[in-house]
Amino acid sequence: MLGMEGNQEFSTNIQRNCVVRGHHFDALDERVRHLLLSAHKALATAYAPYSKFFVGAALLLENGKVILGSNQENAAYPSGLCAERTALFAAGVQENGVSVLAMAIVVARSDGAELAPAFPCGSCLQVLMEVERRQKTPVKVYLKGTGQQVYEADGVSVFLPFGFDPSAFS
């Protein structure tokens, strides 16, 4: 193989517990439903004239505050920003040092089309992973589309099992 001269092949079995649970919205506890409804309210502040894909995010902080974010597109792509990162960065400014307990992400289209829950992009997952590392606790993630189905994950490693971490710098 090209570039493999003198190298020995090896393999490893890496297993991760990547479980996403599904729930009906009405079966969730009051606090989670409130967080999802807050993310839904954030949809109204999304600016998505190009993709027509609106995303609202809501963070529940350890002090009980809820921080909202929405996607903000720009004609000069990639100058826009996703809802998850706008919420995470706003929390970092407004409530610096306060842990994020949970994040709710809700998606909708301007044409009213049915959408399944959508997973965060890699950049948002990487930022969320950094938040988890900094606070030394995972962030629960709740995802909702236009229906009543909600996905729940116990942290970002479910979606990004091999994220970039500080060990790359050592």
Buried/exposed code over 41-51 (b: 16+ C-beta within 10 A; e: otherwise): ebbeebebeee
> Residue 62 catalytic?
no
| Nearest residue to 74 (alpha-carbon basis) of 44, 55, 48 | 48
Contacts of 164 (CB under 8 A, 6+ apart): 126, 129
User: Alpha-carbon distance 37 to 39, whole Å?
Assistant: 5
| Nearest residue to 142 (alpha-carbon basis) of 91, 99, 107 | 107
Catalytic entry in 84, 114, 130, 132 = 84
User: Alpha-carbon distance 94 to 109, whole Å?
Assistant: 29
Active-site positions read 84
